[in-house]
Amino acid sequence: MNVNLQHWRLDVDAQGIATATLDKAGESANSLSAEVMREFSSLLDQLDVYPTKGLIIRSGKEAGFIAGADISEFSQLDTAEKGRALVERGWKLFNRLEAVKYPTLALVRGHCLGGGLELALACRYLLAVDESGTKMGLPEVMLGIFPGWGGMLRLPKRVGPAAALDMMLTGKTLDAKRAKKMGLADDCVPPRVMEMAARQLLVSGQSRRPLPFMQKLMNGPLKSVVANGARKQVAKKARPQHYPAPYAIIDLWQKHDGNALAAPEVVDRIISSPTARNLVRVFGLQERLKGFGKDSDFKARRVHVIGAGVMGGDIAAWCALRGMTVTLQDQTLERMSPALKRAHALFTKKLRDPLKARAAFDRLIPDPQGDGVPHADVIIEAIFENVEAKHALFRALEPRMKPGAVLATNTSSLKLEDLRTVLHRPERLVGIHFFNPVSMMPLVEVVEAEGADPAAVQAACAFVKQIDKLPLPVKSAPGFLVNAVLAPYMLAAMRAVDEGVSPETVDEAMLAFGMPMGPIELIDTVGLDIAMAAGKQLASGADAPKCLLQRVEKNLLGKKSGQGFYAWSEGKPQKGSAGSVPAGLAERLVKPLIDRTERLVAEGIIGDAELADAGVIFGTGFAPFTGGPLNYRKSV
Ligand code: NAI
């Protein structure tokens, strides 16, 4: 066939089955740019002219099927017309794809997200390849927008509205097996048979599994019940003034059957919202963090963690979950047993497959003698926060380490420059600072001390990326970035309590601002003793707040002791009514955090304002819709 395409390849075999392979020029992953979609349209033109038995759509990239729309095009949507045109482009093209006379099949291997899944949903069949990287989802909501290319129309019809809304409102993804179980994929096959299975399914004439009766009702007469339920769920997590997109998704599905073009005012409002602009920016920042360590060819296979406490235990488990062989050392086996129990729970929850969980557990090896040290590519120290103890450990460790291995400390408050004095090669010590709880927090600070070996810092970043965390390079300074900016914010919150504002009101002020958790609840969660110690180190000599001192004296340490600012029961704080929030309270509480962030940028502790915004968002949960503290200050 005579189509001249830059991003697609069209092949037709002897039986008349066509295969369209997307291999976007100049990129490592496929995304649906205007150009890619124009070419797809002309490819369909060709197939209108030359009859085909069927069309298989697949990817020519190792990375996956299609990662979504081309996000760089979003920043060019400066008028309402351009926004609507973008929605229209995909909506019409995928309607056309759905309507073609010949059977179509999306062969999905690796990521299939956003517009990529919308394309696959418009095919008659979706065949998922069972591989660890295969995941399907509509994560548009995380960018503050909606799946306007047919996702809101077709996903509810395919998997039922409850599951579809859950996916569209949270951005969560399904692996190949779950996709099949839920009816999103027609089948799920191992990679070695995928081509054959695709051809068989394509020409099978097999009809799609019908939605169960109840799901059909929920997609029809019971729509408003489902929509109201979903609105209530969303309201628990996101306020409409901060995150309008999830509410728009529910409305568009309920009132317009997922056709956003039927509600152009919603399209205009969402696409031009500051939230969408900021979330797209945050996505870009996240990509930037992922880029750290890319240039290093360091690859870790074995990790040795010393200290099986709150942090070390969970760091070791996380590394094992991510496929590494991990030896975990502590003073005795008994000390390790709580960490191993937590690891077991983590593997069970995350892997949802007893065999895989077992394999992960086998990769996590208790090692009281430190036999893993000479084999480790990365050694992470997470013992008590005590200089002498860490010195003694480093002295014993260094002569036993592999030459190129990374030596890292997880210290929160000790200076790397003081810790490394006992090393023969002090320049090799780096900070790899995880946050608690390790499995939930996406950010890891990679700390560079004065005169550190740049290769060691690069290798540490590469390792952090390898375990799917976001590395943030910071210079060695008290509290690095995240704790340094949290300290003055928590102090301001407690000063407000000293002035007579109730903890509930302080928390409500910041929840209304858009923080995921109020600062007083946060202090209760990390522990009042820890907050006290951090305050001493980071509050530049300021007196501790009275409300904190009084409670610590009475040993009311927060969540862990059952009582802090709040009484805790079953892991939840028992809060009274917040009452009305005084005007300007949130701005007053957040100001010291923003001031400190600015100062850390000015002092060069963090590379630039963008990285600071990224670090504060991913390290503290700072309201993502604002685009970060410095972006927020610029915008007000
Ligand atoms: P932890 O007290 O829960 O655990 C420390 C563990 O190290 C204990 O199990 C102890 O038996 C073991 N240990 C002590 N000396 C040892 C030695 N010489 N050899 C082998 N094991 C030894 O402490 P946590 O909270 O896990 O903190 C560990 C490190 O992580 C500290 O440097 C801390 O500053 C840092 N950190 C803590 C965070 C937190 O939220 N708890 C957050 C980020 C960093």
Three-state SS across 32-76? ECHHHHHHHHHHHHHHHHCCCCEEEEEECCCCEEECCECHHHHHH
Residue 291's CB is within 10 A of a number of other CB atoms, namely 12
Tens-place pLDDT, residues 139-163: 999 999 999 999 999 999 999 999 9
Q: Residue 201 is which amino acid?
A: L
pTM value is: 0.93
Check if 433 is active-site. Answer: yes
Residue whose CA is at the smallest distance from ligand 1 atom 35: 411
Measured in angstroms, how far is the CA atom of residue 309 from the centroid of ligand 1? 5
Residue whose CA is at the smallest distance from ligand 1 atom 1: 309
Q: Is 33 in the pocket of ligand 1 (CB under 6 A)?
A: no
Q: What is the pLDDT of residue 3?
A: 64
Tens-place pLDDT, residues 362-397: 999 999 999 999 999 999 999 999 999 999 999 999
Q: What is the pLDDT of residue 1?
A: 57
Residue whose CA is at the smallest distance from ligand 1 atom 29: 382
Cβ-contact 380, 389 below 8 angstroms: no
Residue whose CA is at the smallest distance from ligand 1 atom 23: 309
- Each domain of the chain, given as residue ranges in start order, spans 8-272, 302-476, 483-635
The per-residue DSSP string of 350-391 comes to HH--HHHHHHHHHHEEE-TT-TTGGG-SEEEE---S-HHHHH
Q: Which CATH architecture has domain 8-272?
A: Alpha-Beta Complex (3.90)
Check if 75 is active-site. Answer: no
Q: What is the pLDDT of residue 75?
A: 82
Check if 412 is active-site. Answer: yes
Cβ-contact 191, 132 below 8 angstroms: no
Tens-place pLDDT, residues 444-455: 999 999 999 999
Sequence-ordered list of residues with C-beta below 8 angstroms from that of 398, at least 6 positions apart, any chain: 407, 423, 424, 425
Positive or negative: CA dihedral 255, 258, 262, 264: positive
- Mean pLDDT value of segment 269-283: 95
Ramachandran bin of 304, using left for φ above 0, alpha for ψ from -120 to 50, beta for the remaining angles: beta
| Mean pLDDT across the chain | 96
State the catalytic residue, choosing from 483, 504, 508, 631. 483
**Backbone phi, psi, residue 447, to 5°:** -100, 125
Q: What is the pLDDT of residue 540?
A: 77
Q: Which of 473, 416, 420, 466 is nearest to 444 (CA)?
A: 473
What's the rounded Cα separation, in Å, for the pair 633 and 200?
58
Q: Is 308 in the pocket of ligand 1 (CB under 6 A)?
A: yes
Q: Is 38 in the pocket of ligand 1 (CB under 6 A)?
A: no
Q: Which atom of ligand 1 is nearest to the CA of 383?
A: 7
pLDDT at 76 over 90: no
Q: Residue 129 forms beta bridges with which residues?
A: 189
Measured in angstroms, how far is the CA atom of residue 306 from the centroid of ligand 1? 8
Q: Which of 336, 453, 476 is nearest to 405 (CA)?
A: 453
Tens-place pLDDT, residues 79-109: 899 999 999 999 999 999 999 999 999 999 9
Q: Is 193 in the pocket of ligand 1 (CB under 6 A)?
A: no
Residue with tokens 């480093």: 394
Measured in angstroms, how far is the CA atom of residue 409 from the centroid of ligand 1? 10
Query: For the CA atoms of 113, 115, 120, 121, what is the dihedral angle to 10 degrees?
Result: 100
Cβ-contact 33, 67 below 8 angstroms: no
pLDDT at 2 over 60: no
Q: Is 235 in the pocket of ligand 1 (CB under 6 A)?
A: no
Spacing of C-alpha 82 from chain mean position: 29
Q: Is 382 in the pocket of ligand 1 (CB under 6 A)?
A: yes
The fraction of the chain above a pLDDT of 90, given in percent, is 94
CATH (residue range 483-635): 1.10.1040.50
Measured in angstroms, how far is the CA atom of residue 174 from the centroid of ligand 1? 36
Q: Is 311 in the pocket of ligand 1 (CB under 6 A)?
A: yes
Q: Which fold has domain 302-476?
A: Rossmann fold (3.40.50)
Q: Which atom of ligand 1 is nearest to the CA of 393?
A: 18
Residue 207 has what DSSP assignment?
P
What's the rounded Cα separation, in Å, for the pair 134 and 158?
19
User: What number of H helices and E strands is found in the chain?
Assistant: 26, 19
Q: Is 344 in the pocket of ligand 1 (CB under 6 A)?
A: no
Residue whose CA is at the smallest distance from ligand 1 atom 4: 309
Query: For the CA atoms of 434, 435, 441, 442, what is the dihedral angle to 10 degrees?
Result: -30
Q: Which atom of ligand 1 is nearest to the CA of 311?
A: 26
The fraction of the chain above a pLDDT of 70, given in percent, is 100
